[in-house]
Structure 1
Amino acid sequence: MKVFMSIIVVLVFATFFAISTASSHETCIRRNIDRSQPPSSSLETKTSSIFISLAEKICRDMARAVMFHVKITGIFPSNYVKAMCNVFGDDEKKVKEYVEKIWLAGPKLVSSLSCVFH
C-alpha cells in the first residue's frame, strides 16, 4: 500500500510540474526583468518569506537547466522561447533585447529566435 501511495504522489507531482513549467518559466523571466530594473524609491520594507526564497531557488535552477541546454544545443528550449514570447507579447524586438541583456552569449542566440514558430 505504501508503494502504491508513493507512486501516486510522484505521478501527481510530475503532472503538476509538467503543467506548470511554462508558467514557471514566465514567472522566472518576470523576476529577471524586475531584478534588472532600478530599485524603487519607496520606503516599504519587503518581507521575505520561505516561499519567496523557494521561488528564487526554483528560478535559479530553471535558468541553470536552460543554460545547460543552450550550451549543448546552441539554442533555447522551445518552451522557454514560448515563455519569453508570452511575457513580451510576441514582440520579437523586446525578446531579442532581453536575451542580449541577460544571457552571456546573447548576440549568438538572437539569430535563431522567432516567436512565430513557437
Structure 2
Amino acid sequence: MEQKTIVELRQLISPPRGIDDVIKAFLILLEYSQNDVKDWNKCKGVLSRTGDKSVMTKVSHFDPLYCSPATAQKSEDLLAPYTIEIVRNKNLYAAKMYTWTKSMIEKVKSSGGVQK
C-alpha cells in the first residue's frame, strides 16, 4: 500500500458506488471503529489523519496474526459483491486498496488470527 493511494482516494468528493465499500472494508480490517466508517465524510477524515493515528502507520504495523477472524470477516463481507475487475473499472487506486485488503484477509484466515 502506498501513500499516493490514500491521497488519491481521500480526494474523491463522492466515491462511485462500491468504492466506498472497498474503503470501509480496508479501514475495518485496520480496526477503525464502526463510527469511523459510517459515512464517506468519516472515512475521508480517517484517510486524512497524520502521525501515529494515520492509515499508513496502521498499514505498516498491520500483522495478520493479531487481527481477529471476526474483523477479517466483516471486511470480507463488504468486499463480497465486488471483483477486482469491477473495482478497477471504477477506480485504479481503489483496486490497489481492494487487492491489499483481500490479500490481508486471506493471511488472517490462513494464520487463524488472534481470538478476541
Please give the TM-score of this superposition, normalised by the length of structure 1. 0.28
Question: Which structure: larger Rg?
Answer: 1
Higher relative contact order (CA 8 A, sep 6+): 2
Please give the TM-score of this superposition, normalised by the length of structure 2. 0.28
